Amino acid sequence: MTALNIAVTGASGRMGRMLIEAILNAEGLHLSGALDTPASPAIGTDAGLFLGKTTGVIIESELARGLAGADVLIDFTRPEGTLKHLEYCAAHGVKVVIGTTGFEAEGKAAIAEFAKRTAVMAAPNMSVGVNVTLKLLELAAKNFSHGYDIEIIEAHHRHKVDAPSGTALKMGEVIADALGKKLDDVAVYAREGFTGERDPSSIGFATVR
């Protein structure tokens, strides 16, 4: 069986390192490239250095070098970086898995356009358990919507850079869709001071870091 060539962005970050380790330990996958920002001290080092392994894959800052020979790019970085990487991949036939969160409407629209030119799989959370939970939320919203106030409270570690998290927003989106609403029309992200009574149609968000 021919191995699938995988490149990883954010190679020196928490998620990048986890992905590299998983690829190195998986059958049928081959780490073909690793990318990071030009300012990263990891540029020019072996992608397996943090594992005490030599992979022969050097962490690059140039997309052309890091994606040479890649079938798929896995991107868990930041919205502006992901869109730049996606543009390159769409032009060069590289498929993309996106786990980056925090996209505005314009960014989401750009992803949809690039997906017409190359295969793209984007999800705010790759966990099977979370995706099962999303389905359960959809069913609950359809069957228990009346007379209930909907609030989403999420907690993440201090390193999380976006709030609410992509997972929390996806939960809100699933619930709003199930109720025939648009999340942008009913979401409440902050409450402070004398706010008056709660709008029964709203979906509230609270974030803990």
Which are the catalytic amino acids?
A: 156, 160
Q: Of 157, 158, 12, 171, whose CA–CA distance to 77 is shortest?
A: 12
Q: Are 183 and 203 in contact (CB under 8 A)?
A: yes
Q: Are 106 and 129 in contact (CB under 8 A)?
A: no
In angstroms, the Cα distances linking 170 to 13, 35, 150 are 24, 28, 14
Kindly provide the residue ranges of all beta strands, DSSP E only, lying in the chain, ordered along the sequence: 4-8, 29-35, 59-60, 72-75, 95-98, 120-122, 150-155, 187-188, 203-208
Upstream peptide bond of 164 is cis (omega within 30 degrees of 0): yes
